[in-house]
Amino acid sequence: MAVTETLKRRVPLDDVMEELARAENLSARDEALARAIAIVTFRRLGTLGHALRKRLNKPPKDERLMHLLATGAAQILFLDVPDHAAVDSAVELAQSDPKLHHAGGFINAVLRRVAREREAILSESDPWLDTPTWLEERWIGQYGEERATRIAEAHRAMASVDLTVKDNPEAWAERLGGVLLPTGSIRLKERTAIRELPGFEAGEWWVQDAAAALPARLLQAKPGEHIADLCAAPGGKTAQLAAAGAEVLAVDRSAKRLQRLEENLARLNLRAETRAIDAEKLEAGPFDAILLDAPCSATGTIRRHPDVAWTKAAEDIRKLSGLQSRLLDKAAGLLKPGGRLVYCTCSLEAEEGERQAAEFLARHPAFTRVPVTPDEIGGWSECITPEGDLRTLPSQQVLAEHDRSGLDGFFVARFVHKGP
């Protein structure tokens, strides 16, 4: 079961789903359904666990049985699946497992009770139920209770789908039936089959959250510049830099992820040199500019990848912040005097954002911060920190009339090498 494997191994749900689809030879339709069920289960895992425990005399010892109940309840409470179909599916899955086949009657009774008591379960659900306690404490400490609660609430909603286009965003927004955001990204009004949309095969655009598109824009790449994109996969930012006419070196330690980047660039008819290597070991340059999208806890992407909340721990942030510092130091040594460095993470944690920027400047007096200005980010002045860095939040309302209004949580800092 994907939920159990993700939690047990503490790996991304996407990786587990890819393995499952290959092992079970799932059709595209079955894989999409399984993925949707797993995602909503993780998105509302706290609510589901709370509701199930209240309706069980004694929680089952086998965690797989608890996860099976959770996926069944997720379909009943949060997906457009008939109650009987969700119950029957859960019972069938249990009966196909030698260690759970005896639990069919138990599963049937529990899930039918969940269906009967749907309204009561939903009415008593608190937003913090679906956030692990360690993250709740961190966010309240960093953002204050009111703003942190809005972040937790935003994580319970489905993420939007945003696109970055090569050019003429106004025309593409109209053609795709989307909304043009002030930053130039297009937000789709409805979720749909991406590959079937106009312009996909022709390589006119790519999927990229509006916040994720900002770091490359803030780098302000120019035609002919020699730019390194460190930790580049899956390649949205590489595509932005290449589309601006820069000569891009895309670096990533994962050859598999880099292959996907190359496939994306081929569809987009864009070119970049790629190198599968740990960025800390890169010998190249000097570069006119560097974009460092550093490995991080990814807590800013919980709307899109809700498994992150349940597979990461505070210790991960400590380890990753050390790696980020080393990568920043490496990037500093690869730049020309006068060169630009943009550092970003899709994290909500200060250790991976605001503190990294401050500590980098303290270690490297040859660098100075280049503050972000509102006109560079579509007027979203509320996203600019007092220091002049960029901080987007999942709770940010970018479209008042659109229910999918938030952004991925990103931190972006921009520096320039002042010279010797």
346 is catalytic: yes
Catalytic position from the list 296, 344, 346, 383:
346
Cα 347 from Cα 328, distance rounded (Å): 16
C-alpha 417: how far from chain center: 30
What are the residues whose beta carbons fall under 8 Å from the beta carbon of 67, sequence distance 6 or more? 1, 3, 4, 7, 41
Handedness of CA 357, 209, 14, 148 (dihedral sign): positive
Nearest-angstrom CA–CA distance, 43 and 156: 6
| Runs of H (alpha helix) within 277-393 | 308-311, 314-333, 354-363
Segment holding 411, helix H or strand E: strand 410-417
Q: Does residue 236 sit in helix, strand or coil? A: helix
391: β partners: 411
Cα separation of 15 and 231, whole Å? Answer: 18
Compute how many other C-beta atoms are within 10 angstroms of the C-beta atom of residue 22.
Answer: 10
Structure token pair of residue 320: 């990753």
Half-sphere exposure of 194 (CA within 13 A, CB side): 11
391: enclosing H helix or E strand = strand 390-392
DSSP helix/strand/coil, 413 = strand
Long-range contacts of range 241-244, CB-CB < 8 Å, 24 or more positions apart?
241/216, 241/272, 241/291, 242/270, 242/271, 242/272, 243/166, 243/268, 243/270
Nearest partner of 169 among 205, 202, 195, judged by Cα = 205
How far is CA 351 from its chain centroid? 18
Rounded CA separation 15/27 (Å): 17
CA pair distance 165, 171, nearest whole angstrom: 10
Q: Is the peptide bond before 234 cis (omega within 30 degrees of 0)?
A: yes
The residues with which 292 forms a beta bridge, in sequence order, are 230, 343
As to burial, measured by CB atoms within 10 angstroms (0-12 exposed, 13-18 middle, 19+ buried), residue 333 is: exposed
Dist CA 266 CA 23 (whole Å): 28
Active site residues: 346
